[in-house]
Chain A
Amino acid sequence: MRKLILSVLVLVLSLEMAPGQGLYSPGSPKDDGRFAASTKQVNQFFRRFNAEESVDGSKRYYSEDPLYRDRELRGKFISILFDNETSGITNELKSEFMREVLSENMPQYINFHREGWFAEVEAFFSYRGKRENVTLFLKIQPEGLGYEWVIDKVIFQPFKDIFNKPEGDAKGFLHPLSHELGFMNLRKAFQDSDTPEAFTPKEYQPDYLTLFLYEMKRGNIRFETISDVKFHFFQINNWYFELNQFNRPGFNTGWLIGNLVKLSNGDKETLLRYIYDQK
């Protein structure tokens, strides 16, 4: 018992005698403003974009706070939410975007729970013993008592290489009177051809996610690690922006808009096809 008391005493004393070691201890290094300026979390990007926190981020603003979604504060926040060092987004484009987002009549906000934004995750998996790049797309959805991130799509090159539907003369087909022969020529599609996808409808798209999960369940694919994350936003009418993390010296760091595109009719679908298929 005495030993136990002594041990606890030593532990407590050692904790008390560790000045300058813990968070906010005397002697803590001072932030010169760089960490304060950095958009440290995606959550902070949302709050800054909507002006839902104080300038230093220490106070969360709610609807009853006078500065909640204050237009002037939002303007200041949004102006620091662009990557100013590498992305090359023109000042004119930024100004046009800010004018629309900060519109006095119809201001636009981003919302964590609303559709129109998703994550793109670069990961490494081992597939049949070989290290492979995999791109996962995740979205947030309501579930049970709250919300969850779910895997929505996957890009996996080995699968894409397998499904390569031939076109034109190279494309095999089942002739239009195949039915009269009881489709006996299916043998050509399934046995003689190495591109059975040639015999699928025009709109056929392989479901890579199902294949991916199947291979994982079979033990052929194993997760290794994550290498990068970014987010795509379509929540602002007629605009798309990409959110990237910038880890570099200076004050323009953290989660910032790395790509900004004004969308015309049909652009959103084209952009989504590009993002999902990398075409």
Chain B
Amino acid sequence: MKKYIPLFLLLFFATAAVSVAQSDNISPARKQAIDSLALEKVKDLSKYISIIGSKETQFSEANRVMDRAEELFAPGAEMGVSSLNRKEIAYYKVRRYFERLMALNYDRVNITWYDIHYISDLERQPDGRYVGVVTVYQRFEGTSLESGLNYRDTTKKDITIYVEKKQTQIAGRTIEFWDVMLGDIRVTETSA
């Protein structure tokens, strides 16, 4: 089912693109559609992160999910992490971040996401692509059974999204559509 989502979205955007196919500007209606697509990708990422972090996920499965998660990102994307005690940013490649998440030394890990998000305007870059930021909040709970210690934090995740107009051929016709890729993510621990 998941594999067909891009096709579904492609058709959706291709339909929406007909009336303004020649324009590179993003109308409010188009922006809203792109926001939805971006949010879908962020939802996928949030689900992948929860699965990778869960101790119930088998190693091989976690690796497969990491592969899927990596596909959401533009090449070279990084996670920049800071905490309440350490404001300096620690940088991790996306894959490394996932691997560290998987290797956390807890017996039980529960990652959930707050029911709130914020999506920025889209700004155009020098190369013509658009860039935006989606903000979400994650709650992490880790339990160590032996020590009985619980660790809990809430992090704000500011996720870069790149929006690009692409073309594809369907039944001999060139169809334009807008694609969304995830980019660098800034992870900030909050006081919540």
Contacts and interface: CB of A to CB of B under 8 A. Distances in A.
Interface of A: 7-8, 10-12, 14-15, 18, 20-25, 27-31, 34-36, 40-41, 43-44, 47, 57, 60, 62, 112, 124, 143-148, 225-228, 247-249, 253
Contact of B88 (A25, A30, A227): A227
Nearest to A248: B191
A147 B123 CA distance: 8
Given A35-B116, A226-B88, A247-B190, 7 more contacts: A14-B65, A31-B115, A36-B116, A146-B124, A147-B126, A148-B125, A226-B80
A25 B43 CA distance: 9
A147 B124 contact: yes
Given A21-B47, A62-B28, A146 B128 contact: yes
Contacts of B106: none
Contacts of B92: none
Interface residues of B, number: 55
B96 to A, nearest CB: 16
B42 interface: yes
Contacts of A41: 118, 120, 133, 135, 158
Nearest to B40: A23
A18 B53 CA distance: 12
Given A31-B137, A35-B137, A225-B89, A23 B124 contact: no
Contacts of A248: 191
A225 B65 contact: no
22 contacts: A11-B68, A12-B1, A15-B51, A18-B51, A21-B54, A22-B43, A23-B47, A23-B113, A29-B113, A31-B137, A44-B120, A47-B121, A60-B31, A62-B28, A112-B121, A124-B88, A145-B126, A146-B127, A146-B130, A147-B125, A227-B89, A247-B191
B43 to A, nearest CB: 4
Contacts of B158: 41
Contacts of B156: 40
Contact of B50 (A7, A21, A31, A62): A21
B113 A40 contact: no
Interface in B122-160: 123-128, 130, 133, 135-137, 139, 156, 158
Nearest to A35: B116
B125 A145 contact: yes
Given A22-B47, A62-B28, A225-B91, A30 B114 contact: yes
Given A14-B61, A21-B47, A145-B124, A28 B114 contact: yes
